[in-house]
Amino acid sequence: MYSTVRDLLRQDQGLYTERLVSRKSLEQIFTPFQGPYREPHPIERGLYSRHKYGYGWFITKWFERNLVWHPGLINGFCSAILRYPDDRTLVVVLENLLPDLEGVSDPDLGEPMTVANALSAIAFGLPPDSSPVSGKTLT
């Protein structure tokens, strides 16, 4: 799949309407998983382990705002897409990765998220090294 930041912005804007999917589906997508099975936690430890998971999106509070986000990784590329729906703010980081000597990408999803968090902070008038969970700086 090939995409651009402009494509992702169009998708984001479409998610505020019912042009892509129904309102009912949108509510399910952006509601934390509830069911008879163990709640999925794709990220088991660290800062991101506190996030809930909906249908394909992580759901949390970040910079004291509602956030839905999704990391991406495929064939030499990684990304972070952060949607702050109450503010209608979208942060997208797309990164090219070089394969290692074995031809397998070994990404650090922390890097796109670090950049995305800094851009989020700037968008909300905070220093780029602000912690998304405490409002304090990380340095």
- How many Å apart are CA 15 and CA 10, to the nearest integer? 9
- How many Å apart are CA 137 and CA 64, to the nearest integer? 14
5-123 CATH fold: Beta-lactamase (3.40.710)
Q: What is the pLDDT of residues 53-110, one digit of tens each?
A: 888 888 989 999 999 998 887 777 888 999 999 999 999 998 887 544 354 444 445 6
In this prediction, what percent of the chain has a pLDDT beyond 70? 74
Helix intervals (H) in the chain: 5-14, 23-29, 110-123
Report the mean per-residue pLDDT for the chain. Answer: 80
* Type of residue at 108: D
* Sign of the CA dihedral with 109 first, then 112, 114, and 120 last: negative
Mean pLDDT of 9-20: 92
At 104 the pLDDT is: 40
Report pTM: 0.79
Which neighbouring-strand residues pair with 72?
79
* Type of residue at 57: W
Straight-line distance from the first to the last Cα atom of the chain, in angstroms, rounded to the nearest whole number? 37
